[in-house]
C-alpha cells in the first residue's frame, strides 16, 4: 500500500518530455481562461490571498 497525493494524469507527467509537459500546460492554460472572472480578486502567490474589499475598483 502506498499513499497517493496526485492524480494519475499528474503522475504521468514525470515520463513526458518537458516539451510535452509545456504543450499540455499551454492547452490547460487556454482552457483555464474561462475562470478569469471568478478569480479576478484572487492571488495565487505572495502575501495576499485576495484583493481587500476596500481596494476593489
* Binding site residues, another protein, CB under 8 A: 1-3, 5-6, 9-11, 13-14, 16, 18, 21-22, 24-26, 28-30, 32-33, 35-36, 39, 43-49, 51-52, 54-57
Distance of alpha carbon 50 from alpha carbon 41, whole angstroms: 5
Report the nearest approach of another protein to the CB of residue 34 (Å).
10
Report the nearest approach of another protein to the CB of residue 49 (Å).
6
Distance of alpha carbon 21 from alpha carbon 13, whole angstroms: 6
Place of cell 492547452: 27
Amino acid at each position: 500500500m502506498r499513499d497517493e497525493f496526485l492524480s494519475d494524469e499528474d503522475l504521468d507527467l514525470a515520463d513526458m518530455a518537458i516539451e510535452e509537459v509545456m504543450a499540455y500546460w499551454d492547452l490547460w492554460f487556454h482552457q483555464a481562461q474561462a475562470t478569469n472572472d471568478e478569480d479576478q480578486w484572487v492571488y495565487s502567490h505572495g502575501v495576499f490571498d485576495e484583493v481587500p474589499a476596500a481596494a476593489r475598483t
